Amino acid sequence: CPDTCRVPRVPRMLYPKAHVLQPPRVDVLLMTPWFAPIIWDGTYDSAILDAQFRNTTIGLTVFAIKKYVVFLKLFLETAEKYFMVGHRVIYYILTDRPADVPQIPLQEGRRVVILKVRNYTRWQDVVLHRMEMISNFSQQRFLHEVDYLVSADVDMKFSDHVGVEILSSLFGTLHPGFYASDRQRFTYERRPLSQAYIPEDEGDFYYAAALYGGSVAEVYRLATACHQATLIDKANGIEAVWHEESHLNKYLLYHKPTKVLSPEYVWDERMLRKPPYLRRLRYVAVPKNHAQIRSR
């Protein structure tokens, strides 16, 4: 964990100095109340960060079950252009259709690992069981193969820089639909019977399950806890309203993330109008025909 456990050594570098009395952004919140930075354009220097995170290996886990394999090509092609460029990357593609994974030319230091997983009949089980699979594979291989894990939806594309500025022990992303909302409006699970329950008077942010991550050890803890919560819910005959996103939000309420990504890192151009303080759109939803892609 280069960002917290050990202070990394960097070489001599030339860069403009920061001004204590001129904050880089005054239009958005840059820090959570527990002092985790919120990552916005204009607040960081990639050259310094790249030096701090050199020799870091990043695992990008992405599920492509059933028809969702069609999203892989654009996802991978755009990741090659924008995701962790210049760093070591392993794409972990979890799929029930290994033969349908497209061959994409990769830059040096990057490779694809296909992990065959089972599919589920119910789509709710497809999304929920992602936590179980991340937990199992973390112990089996991720812990030994990469430093950080990033978990991403596949029905998205990268459209601008996503680099090591996102890496930290545990990070979540502000959901683009709720970053400006009061906590009462967050679509947390509101039924006390569910393990994902969050009362109306609690909550920091509504986090998107489409992009989160951290050190392998922390993602392993998160995924294991969310999977356990899912099993308890199932035994009690309840399923959280937004599936693993509900459990993720519960976990991140009581395990405060050490970095929070702004909605630059998860956006949907069809659903939302871009406000002026959103200077870059880095990872955006790909339009999909819900009826067609989600049918069997």
Binding site for Mn ion (CB under 5 A): 153, 155
Of 162, 151, 177, 149, give the one whose Cα is nearest residue 268: 177
**Residue among 175 and 259 whose Cβ is closer to Mn ion:** 175
Among 72, 93, 210, 219, binds ligand 2GW (CB under 6 A): 210
Q: Is 208 in the site for ligand 2GW (CB under 6 A)?
A: yes
Residue 202 annotated among the catalytic residues of the structure: no
User: Using the rule CB under 6 A, is 120 a contact of ligand 2GW?
Assistant: no
Tokens 């892989």 locate to 72
**In terms of CB distance, is 65 or 222 closer to ligand 2GW?**
65
Nearer to ligand 2GW, 157 or 243 (CB): 243
Buried b (16+ CB within 10 A) or exposed e, 157-175: bbbbbbbbbbbbbbbbbbb
Between residues 53 and 207, which has the closer beta carbon with respect to ligand 2GW? 207
Among 146, 209, 261, 281, binds ligand 2GW (CB under 6 A): 209
Q: List the single partner that 245 binds among Mn ion, ligand 2GW, none, CB under 5 to 8 Å by kind.
A: ligand 2GW
151 bridge partner residues = 61, 212
Q: Which is nearer to ligand 2GW, 63 or 188 (CB)?
A: 63
159 contacts 82 by C-beta, under 8 angstroms: yes
Among 154, 166, 170, 252, binds ligand 2GW (CB under 6 A): 154
Q: Which of 132, 189, 245, 264 is catalytic?
A: 245
Radius of gyration of the chain, Cα coordinates, nearest whole angstrom: 19
What is the distance between the alpha carbons of residues 164 and 198, in angstroms, rounded to a whole number? 31
Asked if residue 157 binds ligand 2GW (CB under 6 A), the reply is no
**How is residue 214 written in tokens?**
């951290």
Site for ligand 2GW in 2-61 (CB under 6 A): none
E strand residue ranges, the chain: 38-39, 57-64, 88-95, 110-116, 148-152, 156-158, 170-174, 207-215, 259-261, 283-285
Alpha-carbon distance of 256 to 77, in angstroms, equals 33
**Enzyme catalytic residues:** 245
Binding residues for ligand 2GW, per CB under 6 A? 63-66, 68, 123, 126-127, 153-155, 208-210, 242-245, 294
